[in-house]
Amino acid sequence: MSAIPALAVHKLTKLFTDPSQPEAVAVGVRGVSFEVGRGEVVGLIGESGCGKSTLGRCVVGLQQPDDGDVVVDGTIFSALTASRKRSFRKAIQIVFQRPETSLNPRMSVFTFIKQAMRNFDTVPRNKERARMAELAQLVGLKDDALDRFPHQLSGGERQRVAIMRALACEPSVIVLDEPTSALDVSVQAQVLRTLKDLQSQVGTSFLFISHDVAVVRYICSRVMVMYLGVVVEEGPSELVLAVPAHPYTKALLAAAPRVKPLPEPGLSLRGELVLGDVRPGECPVRARCPLAHERCHEAPPMTELPGGQRAACWLAADQAAALSPSVFDPSKKVSQ
Amino acid sequence: MSDILFSLDELSIDSIRDGERRRIVDHVSLAVRRGELYGLVGESGSGKSISMMASVGLAASGLEVAGGTVRFAADQRPAADQKGLRRNLSRGVSLLFQNAKGALNPFMTVGRQVERALRQKRRVRDLAGEVDNLFRVVGLSWRDLGRKYPHQISGGQAQRVAMACALATEPALLIADEPTTALDVTTERELLRFLARLCVEREMAIVLIAHNLSLVSEYCRSLSIMHAGQVVEEGDLKAIFARPLHPYTQGLIRAVPDVDSPRELVPLVGSVWGGPQGIERCRFSHRCPHRRPDCDRGRPAAVDRDGRAVHCVLYEEVPA
Amino acid sequence: MNMRAEPMNPPATLPTRSARRPLWRRVYFGVFGGDALGFAGSILLALLLIVAIVGPLLVTHDPLLTTPKTLLAPSAEHWLGTDHFGRDVFSRTITSLRIDFIVAGLGVSGAVLVGSFLGLVCGYVGGWFDELVMRLVDIVQSFPLLLIAMVLILVMGPGVESIIIVTVLINIPTYARVIRGEALSRKTLEYIDAARCSGASEASILFRHLMPNTLSPIIVHASLNLAAAVGNVAALSFLGVGIRPPTPDLGVMVAEGTNYLVQGAWWMSIGPGLVLAATIFSLNLVGDCLEGRLDPRRMEG
């Protein structure tokens, strides 16, 4: 990538300890680093407790990280003062999961979105209506929706309004935190299709957070898989989701609901995530991984695999070493 | 052929709000055999939950049963007899809900709740032993979890506890209303697999209510697909998936992203409740690419085709 | 994780048949949701309010004029009879209804304004300010109502102004608590975050985005509060520390009338007493009806 990436995250850390289990390992985000290029759609997959929502909130500045940087369009967003942050917010926006609470019940759609336009001075006042109509068309809403209130809109329509609000700021990056998870199957398809189309039209970068592997496969060109605050695998969707290298990714794929079930059951993790079973410094998946062995007591580094795929697993490291000794780079360590 | 344990016949339910009456379940019929894992699939507004809740006498207030009969084992009665139907809940029908933690009593330990469920059925000689056994059946350990409260255990564990309570009365039929929707995919898989095993081991019929087709594909043998209160396609799951006939079923399959390929999605147009209101019609017609005048002339009859029945005028003319 | 919203009924944007239904049915179901008691209560309250507003035009005699025609039973001349000073009970009742509404109304309004503002800021900002204000509120609430009222009035001297101030002070805690709770539960909702991301200042978020959404419980509380306030004003006057004679007040009239009940002059207490009861009753009915209508129906984010 020659240009400055739209979003760059360096060693972001934000941890929460469960007060009822003070010795257990903390949840949140640990030392995560990645980049999202201009116009790229990057997916972030993980189940509950993996820290993806926390990561999303830190990235848009709704939460202050304990450590690490969020760099948007070359500016260190996380280091800005509160007042500067307010104006810089324009560049990075978010769409939330729940349509019921994403919109202000007392504001019409027009008024709600107008705030963003006015605060960031995106269009002169007399052009506001026209711009809103444009945006409405872009997200697939009819003009008359603009003067409606949230309780007069369906779930799918509300999500579209949320997307409109994000777009109205003219951001470089939009973080979408499970934008379709609370929607019905058929509505989900409509909104996803809209998202994909408008992304290619407008060219904004997306960070698409979801637990649904199929959805991420559909819309994202690159994907990261998170578990307990750490990225365990990343790379082009075509590779990671078709030939996963990390056991967790394999288990996720095997467990994903399918219309045509796979002939073989595939890999599955044992039990559920129990924080108390995870020791600091080890591979976070070890306690549940069917392929775990002695080395796993030490957190594996990220291994570079062919095609831009990377996985944090000793077995993947073996695989890479077998292919070509030079590919295995022990200096890239995933910090705990 | 094993006998029918549970059936709905032409069940219709209206919702009454602000003095207005709307039909939300329209002449729904289905039949579940003993020991069968039956899928009932539909999006929200399809009436799937409401139908099953009404079949055990739990229709919410504001809803009125407008017709139909419910049969469970030897008992057959009009669906409007909600009080009578509720008795089935202590005679062999158990329920599982979506939000397990919410369905459990927050002030009682999970062990005690399973105990109470057991006591409901009959005199139990070795209560502690039975409780321990039930925990093991659902894959939990009473020693580890028995004294915990619902808020102290995970969602998946809570759902298993709820299952233990449901199984305590040794039901012949288990109605599971989206039991895994609130859970992670990996946990969901475990639980669904477990349900499928239970079905076989205990010869217990299960009606699995789900909001998407992919969930039932691996576990159910028969299925009904509902849209806006009507059954659109029903029967042998393999037959339906091999060749979906109803435009809604086809649309659903095309509209869901595929984990194994990035193919383009073809969303369904319109919304569940559009189209002409207040007349008897196929309630999918306003969204259907094959719409024709016949569609709005009345409810489409069931047409048998290759092991399933499809409710669509498209198939009515062509002889089977 | 996958929590689906389950709308049981079609969304509100669809055309319904209500356009063709008679008006009274639409109002009865649409506004009151078929709540017969609420409907009746509202009508009663409306009547009382009209009487109070139109008051001076309805009085048949001067409410303060004493005449020698004392303790006359109800007649065509004096609809509710006369009291021990020969004053027309009916006219006094109507006048005092007006006064009571005004005093209670002003008192509750003041409490709403001050209490809501405090509660909003406490809920949103939290920290030491929240702690301080809430502890003060606790202190005020821990004293019996009438005791505080009597002490304050003794300090300030009796009269209409004192009662209004006392009503304001006594009722601030209610609104402070309620609005604080609303603010607390809403400040973490996504649309507040969305407003932040849209570049809104903290003040803007507080007053433009959060506040309008916290207000709905006020209407319910205020109507129930008004009922209590009217009762309190009457009680204080009954005890002699409220509105002073000769200004008529329902409580005073009931008090004076009890002295003459034994003599058979029932009209002195019963008339004002019934009106007082009707006022409080209708306010309560309306409050209950509002509570049922406003909370579950609208999705107040």
ipTM of the complex model: 0.87
Give the pLDDT of residue C12. Answer: 40
Q: Do C6 and B49 touch (CB under 8 A)?
A: yes
3-state SS assignment for residue A244: coil
Q: How many Cα atoms are found within 13 Å in the side-chain-facing hemisphere of B26? A: 25
State whether residue C11 sits within 8 Å of chain A by CB.
yes
From chain C, the residues in CB contact with A162 under 8 A are 194
Give the pLDDT of residue B81. Answer: 93
Q: How many Cα atoms are found within 13 Å in the side-chain-facing hemisphere of B31? A: 10
pLDDT, greater one: A23 or A15: A15
Task: Flag whether pLDDT at A1 surpasses 50.
Answer: no
State whether residue B61 sits within 8 Å of chain A by CB.
no
Task: Give the residue from A52, A1, A13, A5 showing the smallest Cα distance to A223.
Answer: A52
Chain B: nearest CA to C230, how far in angstroms? 33
Q: Do A192 and B257 touch (CB under 8 A)?
A: yes
Chain B: nearest CA to C20, how far in angstroms? 12
Q: Do C200 and A155 touch (CB under 8 A)?
A: no
Chain B: nearest CA to C301, how far in angstroms? 21
Q: What are phi and psi of A88, to 5 degrees?
A: -80, -15
Q: Do C1 and A90 touch (CB under 8 A)?
A: no
Task: Flag whether pLDDT at C177 surpasses 70.
Answer: yes
From chain B, the residues in CB contact with C16 under 8 A are 20
Give the pLDDT of residue A325. Answer: 63
Q: Do C194 and A103 touch (CB under 8 A)?
A: yes
Contact A186, B248 (CB under 8 A): no
Q: Do C301 and A150 touch (CB under 8 A)?
A: yes
Q: How far apart are CA A314 and CA A302, in angstroms?
A: 9
From chain B, the residues in CB contact with C26 under 8 A are none
From chain C, the residues in CB contact with B184 under 8 A are 1
Confidence at C234, pLDDT banded by 50, 70, 90: confident
Contact C268, C81 (CB under 8 A): yes
Q: Do B255 and A257 touch (CB under 8 A)?
A: no
pLDDT, greater one: A66 or B270: A66
State whether residue C7 sits within 8 Å of chain B by CB.
yes
Q: How far apart are CA C17 and CA C29, in angstroms?
A: 13
3-state SS assignment for residue C99: helix
Residue of A nearest to B271 (CA): A187
Give me the tens of pLDDT residue by residue for chain B, a chain 320 residues long. Answer: 458 999 999 999 999 887 788 999 999 999 999 999 999 999 988 999 999 999 999 998 889 999 999 999 989 999 999 999 999 888 899 999 988 888 899 999 999 999 998 888 767 788 888 899 889 888 888 888 889 999 888 888 999 999 999 999 889 999 999 998 888 888 888 889 899 999 999 999 999 999 888 888 888 999 999 999 999 999 999 999 999 999 999 999 999 999 988 889 999 988 888 888 888 999 999 999 999 998 998 899 999 998 899 999 998 865 55
Q: Do B20 and C2 touch (CB under 8 A)?
A: no
pLDDT in tens, A236-261: 999 999 999 999 999 999 999 888 88
Q: How far apart are CA C104 and CA C232, in angstroms?
A: 9
Closest by Cβ to B259, choosing from A185, A211, A253: A253
Give the pLDDT of residue A176. Answer: 96
Give the pLDDT of residue A2. Answer: 57
3-state SS assignment for residue C151: helix
Task: Flag whether pLDDT at A158 surpasses 90.
Answer: yes
Q: How far apart are CA B282 and CA B293, in angstroms?
A: 11
pLDDT, greater one: A44 or C51: A44
Assessment of whether the complete model's pTM goes beyond 0.80: yes
Q: How far apart are CA B135 and CA B113, in angstroms?
A: 11
**What's the average model confidence in pLDDT over A70-99?**
90
Closest by Cβ to B182, choosing from C1, C10, C30: C1
**What's the average model confidence in pLDDT over A178-198?**
91
Q: Which residues pair with B133 in a beta bridge?
A: none
The answer to which of A120-134, A289-303, C68-82 has the lowest mean pLDDT is C68-82
Instruction: Give percent helix, percent strand, percent coil of chain C, each to the nearest 5.
Output: 70, 0, 30
Can you list the alpha helix ranges (DSSP code H) found in B104-224? 110-121, 127-137, 142-145, 155-168, 185-202, 213-217
Give the pLDDT of residue B190. Answer: 86
Chain A: nearest CA to B152, how far in angstroms? 10
State whether residue A153 sits within 8 Å of chain B by CB.
no
Q: Do C9 and B182 touch (CB under 8 A)?
A: no
E strand or H helix that includes residue A205: strand A205-210
Contact B47, B228 (CB under 8 A): yes
Closest by Cβ to C299, choosing from A86, A97, A105: A105
Best residue of C3, C4, C8 to probe chain B, by most B CBs closer than 10 Å: C8
**What's the average model confidence in pLDDT over A271-289?**
87
Q: How far apart are CA B139 and CA B156, in angstroms?
A: 11
State whether residue B268 sits within 8 Å of chain A by CB.
yes
**What's the average model confidence in pLDDT over C177-205?**
93
pLDDT in tens, C240-289: 777 777 788 888 888 888 888 888 788 888 888 888 899 999 988 888 88
Q: Do C7 and B44 touch (CB under 8 A)?
A: yes
Contact A155, A183 (CB under 8 A): yes
Question: Can you read off the two tokens belonging to residue B20?
Answer: 């207005």
State whether residue B182 sits within 8 Å of chain C by CB.
yes
Task: Flag whether pLDDT at C11 surpasses 90.
Answer: no
Confidence at C291, pLDDT banded by 50, 70, 90: confident
State whether residue C13 sits within 8 Å of chain A by CB.
yes
Task: Give the residue from B196, B203, B250 showing the smallest Cα distance to B225.
Answer: B250
Question: Can you read off the two tokens belonging to residue B128?
Answer: 């502690």
Q: Do B50 and C9 touch (CB under 8 A)?
A: no
Q: How far apart are CA A322 and CA A327, in angstroms?
A: 9
Say how many residues make up chain B: 320
Q: Which chains contact C through at least 3 pairs of Cβ atoms less than 8 Å apart?
A: A, B
Mean residue pLDDT of chain A comes to 90
State whether residue C212 sits within 8 Å of chain A by CB.
yes
Q: CB under 8 Å, gap of 24 or more: what pairs does A14-21 form?
A: A14/A51, A14/A54, A14/A55, A14/A58, A14/A63, A14/A64, A14/A65, A14/A66, A15/A66, A15/A229, A16/A54, A18/A275, A21/A275, A21/A276
Chain A: nearest CA to B147, how far in angstroms? 16
Q: Do A184 and C4 touch (CB under 8 A)?
A: yes
State whether residue A251 sits within 8 Å of chain B by CB.
yes
State whether residue B258 sits within 8 Å of chain A by CB.
yes
Cβ-Cβ contacts under 8 Å for C207 (sequence gap 6 or more): none
Give the pLDDT of residue C106. Answer: 92
Give the pLDDT of residue C248. Answer: 83
Q: How far apart are CA C93 and CA C96, in angstroms?
A: 5
Q: Which chains contact A through at least 3 pairs of Cβ atoms less than 8 Å apart?
A: B, C
CB–CB contacts below 8 A, A to C: 97
Give the pLDDT of residue B249. Answer: 94
Confidence at C21, pLDDT banded by 50, 70, 90: low
State whether residue B314 sits within 8 Å of chain C by CB.
no
3-state SS assignment for residue B234: strand
Give the pLDDT of residue C4. Answer: 40
Q: Identify the top-confidence range among A271-285, B302-316, C2-16.
A: B302-316
> Rounded to an integer, what is the distance from CA B177 to the centroid of its chain?
5
Q: How far apart are CA B248 and CA B287, in angstroms?
A: 9
Task: Flag whether pLDDT at C9 surpasses 70.
Answer: no
Closest by Cβ to C29, choosing from B18, B182, B184: B18
> Residue C296: exposed, middle, or buried by beta-carbon count in 10 A (0-12, 13-18, 19+)?
exposed
Tell which C residues from 11 to 70 touch B, by Cβ distance under 8 Å: 11, 14-18, 25, 29-30, 33-34
Instruction: Report in angstroms the alpha-carbon separations of B319 from B296, B314, B315.
Output: 22, 11, 8
Q: Do C301 and A99 touch (CB under 8 A)?
A: no
Percent of chain C past pLDDT 70, that is, above it, reads: 89
Q: Do C1 and B22 touch (CB under 8 A)?
A: no
Give the pLDDT of residue B228. Answer: 94
Instruction: Report in angstroms the alpha-carbon separations of B69 from B62, B81, B208.
Output: 20, 9, 20
> Quick count: other Cβ atoms within 10 Å of Cβ C43?
13
Give the pLDDT of residue C295. Answer: 61
Q: How many Cα atoms are found within 13 Å in the side-chain-facing hemisphere of B255? A: 21
Give the pLDDT of residue A328. Answer: 52
**What's the average model confidence in pLDDT over C16-40?**
70
Q: Do B19 and C25 touch (CB under 8 A)?
A: yes
Best residue of B273, B283, B286 to probe chain C, by most C CBs closer than 10 Å: B273
Chain C: nearest CA to B260, how far in angstroms? 21
3-state secondary structure A102-156: HCCCCCCHHHHHHHHHHHHCCCCHHHHHHHHHHHHHHHCCCHHHHHCCHHHCCHH
From chain C, the residues in CB contact with B286 under 8 A are none
Confidence at C24, pLDDT banded by 50, 70, 90: confident
Chain A: nearest CA to C204, how far in angstroms? 10
State whether residue C185 sits within 8 Å of chain A by CB.
no
Residue of B nearest to C18 (CA): B20
Q: How far apart are CA B160 and CA B166, in angstroms?
A: 10
Closest by Cβ to A193, choosing from B212, B259, B267: B267
Give the pLDDT of residue A331. Answer: 54
